[in-house]
Amino acid sequence: MLNATPLDRRLLATVVATCSLLAASPAEGAKPAGSLLEPRSKVVGDRERARTARFDISQIMREAAPVATPLATAGVAQLPQERPDGPTLEVDGTTPSALTSRAALIPANGLWTGSATSNPNRQVGKLYYDVQPGPGEDWRHCTATAVNSENKSVVVTAGHCVFSPDPDKNGYVNGNGYWFEHVQFCPGYEYGCTLGVWYARQVFTTDSWFYGSGPSRQYDWSDDVAIVLVSPDAGRGYLVNAVGGQGITFNVASRLHRSSFGYPARDSRFPTYANTYNGEDLVYCAGYDQPDWYGRLFIPCTMTGGASGGPWITSPAANWTGYVNSVNSHKPDETSMGGPYFGNAESNLFQYARSR
């Protein structure tokens, strides 16, 4: 364009600039380097949310059965420690100014001595849900925890407390999985939902829990984790603003001292503890984890059905605000509890949900 007019030159500059912009932008559907991967999730629709709010929580509490914490054998070989598979992420916890009491650090196992308004009981509670999609209801409950984040709405629990991969009789995932319905969270549970009820607006789980893992497509206990995002309560506002939130951390070393919390109930599979747990009191276990080759951690713990999804808290401060760094997932035997290592999959899950 040796003899280009001023208009020609302006048009040429516009074309060059546009082409440069397109070249620098990711292709349609591609994700920029380092971006988060969208996890499997379900958005709770308006109809389901309205129906959930119409249920009587007192009736749900009477009818809900504790989900049986699944049995899964431990790996035969242990690693020196589970190694991080990505950058460490740590989010500090927060507690409301209205906190009325706090529990002391007790280096043993058994009933938690704090009240419903103490940490961590104020953040730990029961997660209720309906495992029968459709017009009927079949209520279950797990344990879950309010965790601090920008949206003040994150609840962490186990994957099997929000989604069933629907395996066949041999334990292989068959692609016909389904999300549970009418998910709702009662923090600070102690013989009732004393601090209110928050309803789910979206639920997430890891790809490997959703699809199964490996060519055999079996349950993947190493990523049995879920996040429930809850809507603000009309009277109490955002969950974490109302009850506080534990911290959370990912990709840290294993062999840490952990305190596990849950609401275990009578479980016929473990007759030794048939009269020990009633499903109404918060119970805890404390000990150092032992990792295996499969991305799972194990601690000494006799908690039974109903404890699924309860937090493993590390590095608690004097006011019992610490860091969630696994959840109750499965039991290899009567005196142990298994939980997933919080690595890249769990970090991605949290980081995606915290921005929603």
Question: Any idea of the CA torsion for 311, 291, 107, 272, to the nearest 10 degrees?
Answer: 80
Best mean pLDDT range from 2-6, 111-115, 183-187, 216-220: 183-187
pLDDT (tens digit per residue) in 34-80: 468 899 999 999 999 999 999 999 999 999 999 988 888 655 445 55
- How many angstroms separate the CA atoms of 218 and 17, rounded? 51
Q: Do residues 75 and 341 lie in contact, with contact meaning Cβ atoms separated by under 8 Å?
A: no
pLDDT (tens digit per residue) in 105-116: 555 678 888 888
The residue whose two tokens read 């589970």 is: 82
What DSSP designation does 271 have? G
Distance, CA of 248 to chain centre: 11
Binning pLDDT at 50, 70 and 90, where does residue 284 land? Answer: very high
pLDDT (tens digit per residue) in 231-274: 999 999 999 999 999 999 999 989 999 999 999 998 888 888 87
Best mean pLDDT range from 24-28, 117-121, 188-192: 188-192
Handedness of CA 255, 84, 225, 95 (dihedral sign): positive
Binning pLDDT at 50, 70 and 90, where does residue 26 land? Answer: very low
pLDDT of 135: 83
pLDDT of 14: 34
Q: Which of 208-222, 260-274, 282-296 has the lowest mean pLDDT?
A: 208-222
- How many angstroms separate the CA atoms of 178 and 159, rounded? 12
pLDDT of 27: 31
Whole-model pTM: value is: 0.85
pLDDT higher than 80, residue 208: yes
Binning pLDDT at 50, 70 and 90, where does residue 310 land? Answer: very high
pLDDT higher than 70, residue 174: no
Distance, CA of 339 to chain centre: 11
For 343, the token pair is 């690595």
Question: Any idea of the CA torsion for 156, 157, 161, 165, to the nearest 10 degrees?
Answer: 80
- 223 Rama class: left (phi>0) / alpha (psi -120 to 50) / beta: alpha
- How many angstroms separate the CA atoms of 220 and 84, rounded? 18
pLDDT of 71: 86
Q: Which domains does the chain have, with CATH numbers?
A: 35-354 (2.40.10.120)
Binning pLDDT at 50, 70 and 90, where does residue 168 land? Answer: low
**Paired strand residues for 247:** 323
